[in-house]
Amino acid sequence: MKHPARWTALLVAAMIVGLGVVLAVQVGDDPRSDATTSQLVGKAAPEFSLRTLDGIPVTTDTLLGKVVIINFWNSWCIPCRVELPALKEFYDRHRDDPSVALVGIVRDDSTKVIKSYANAEGIDWIIAIDPNSQTALAFGTRGQPETFAVDANGLITGAQIGPVTLRDLELLLESAQGR
Amino acid sequence: MTSRRVLPWLGLIAVFLIVIVWASWPSGDRQTVNEQAHELASEIRCPDCEGLNVADSFTTSARAIRKDLLRRLKAGESESEIKSSYADRYGESILLNPDSSGLGILVWGLPIVVLIFGGAGIAFTILRRSKTPRLTPTDDDRSEVDRARDQ
């Protein structure tokens, strides 16, 4: 090699140009695109063991065999209030179907406040309290509201981050029913 | 190049290497589980806030994650197992340190490669200069200098 320093400089320059090209190509990709969708769709729902407002156990096992819509929420979250009418209508449509369950899991709120809120709003579906938000964490939630559809075998078939509409809920139900 | 000119360079390289080794040498102090959990929390992005890690955030999720990290470390899970469990649930973007595979290898590897080749380039340059004979004045040069002095 006649001019090693020159070759080294050329190599370093080529690498810098290469890096520039790679960065330019990648610039359109959002590195946090995985933050807008649940990573758990297609995987088994995390196991949980919670209690309702009346102290009745709600566990993965008690819900097995049913199609379950799980909605993470709390009383002070405005988007949760926005989606409440849709949840009410969805529940009214399916409350007599024994193969379908709607479970609201409350994170970061007090049982007393939730009891009073549920009574005032006429919420009749299963409401379970998630102490320390450990179940919310197991589901990989990023806040509330977040809604998951779980099929009869305990597999997560769909998820939505943010408030749901009645149509969203029906689509989630259909995904869990395999339709 | 005389040893007088090479010595400062060698000294500089020695200081550089000593500083790098000293900075990267693992500390002899054993971390407590709480310290380990705090360090791990600083490497995980807070899922429900912008631009903060879990160690610096006070959201519900961050508090829950801190508690979960402590519980897992106490149960004997390794840091890589915990990180991979979070990446499975939240995606790779939950980890603040870039992945050391795929494109992420560029972030870790390129500075090292540039350092190695840059160092090699400097070494080659020094060696080449040291091999170049120093110029000595010829008789013509001396007489020209003398003529200039006489004027």
As a whole number, mean pLDDT of residues B17-23 equals 84
What confidence score (pLDDT) does residue B29 get?
Answer: 64
Cross-chain residue pair A5–B124, CB shorter than 8 Å: yes
- The whole-angstrom distance between B5's CA and the closest CA on chain A is 19
Residue B82 is which amino acid?
I
Q: Quote the CA–CA distance of A112 and A63 in Å, as a whole number.
A: 25
**Using an 8 Å Cβ cutoff, are A176 and A67 in contact?**
yes
Q: In this predicted model, which residue has the larger pLDDT, B40 or B127?
A: B40
Closest Cα in chain A to B51: A32
Closest Cα in chain B to A143: B48
- The whole-angstrom distance between A71's CA and the closest CA on chain B is 16
- What average pLDDT does chain B have? 83
What confidence score (pLDDT) does residue A28 get?
Answer: 59
As a whole number, mean pLDDT of residues B54-60 equals 91
**Which run of H or of E encompasses B80?**
helix B79-90
Please list every residue in chain A whose beta carbon sits closer than 8 Å to the beta carbon of residue B88: 39
pLDDT, tens digit, 9 for 90 and up, residues A68-79: 999 999 999 999
Give CA separation, A114 vs A20, A121, A122, in Å. Answer: 54, 10, 12
What confidence score (pLDDT) does residue A10 get?
Answer: 82
Q: Quote the CA–CA distance of B51 and B69 in Å, as a whole number.
A: 20
pLDDT band at B151 (very low <50, low <70, confident <90, very high): confident
pLDDT at position B105 over 90: no
- The whole-angstrom distance between B101's CA and the closest CA on chain A is 15
pLDDT band at B103 (very low <50, low <70, confident <90, very high): low
As a whole number, mean pLDDT of residues B34-46 equals 94
Please list every residue in chain B whose beta carbon sits closer than 8 Å to the beta carbon of residue A31: 93
pLDDT, tens digit, 9 for 90 and up, residues A6-62: 777 788 788 788 878 877 776 656 666 677 789 999 999 999 999 999 999 999 999
Closest Cα in chain B to A33: B93
Q: Backbone phi, then psi, for A102, in 5-degree steps?
A: -115, 120
Cross-chain residue pair A39–B48, CB shorter than 8 Å: no
Instruction: Supply B84's token pair.
Output: 């991979």
Supply the DSSP string of chain A, one letter for each residue. Answer: ---HHHHHHHHHHHHHHHHHHHHHHHTTS-TTGGGGS-TTTTSBPPP-EEEETTS-EEEHHHHTTSEEEEEEE-TT-HHHHHHHHHHHHHHHHHTT-TTEEEEEEEESS-HHHHHHHHHHHT--SEEEEEGGGHHHHHTT--SS-EEEEE-TTSBEEEEEES---HHHHHHHHHHHHT-
Q: Which residue has the tokens 């597999």?
A: A155
Q: In this predicted model, which residue has the larger pLDDT, A176 or B7?
A: A176
Q: Quote the CA–CA distance of A81 and A109 in Å, as a whole number.
A: 14
The number of beta carbons lying within 10 Å of the beta carbon of residue B85 is 14
pLDDT, tens digit, 9 for 90 and up, residues A93-136: 999 999 999 999 998 899 999 999 999 999 999 999 998 889 99
Please list every residue in chain A whose beta carbon sits closer than 8 Å to the beta carbon of residue B60: 107-108, 133, 136
What confidence score (pLDDT) does residue A2 get?
Answer: 64
Residues 94-133 of chain B whose Cβ lies under 8 A from any Cβ of chain A: 103, 106, 110, 113-114, 117-118, 120-121, 124-125, 128
Strand partners for A102: A69
As a whole number, mean pLDDT of residues A144-149 equals 95
Complex prediction ipTM: 0.75
Strand partners for B95: B44
- The whole-angstrom distance between A143's CA and the closest CA on chain B is 6
pLDDT at position B101 over 70: no
What confidence score (pLDDT) does residue A17 get?
Answer: 84
Cross-chain residue pair A34–B92, CB shorter than 8 Å: yes
What confidence score (pLDDT) does residue B24 get?
Answer: 73
As a whole number, mean pLDDT of residues B31-36 equals 90
Residue A117 is which amino acid?
Y
**Using an 8 Å Cβ cutoff, are A150 and A68 in contact?**
yes
pLDDT, tens digit, 9 for 90 and up, residues B124-143: 777 777 776 667 788 888 88
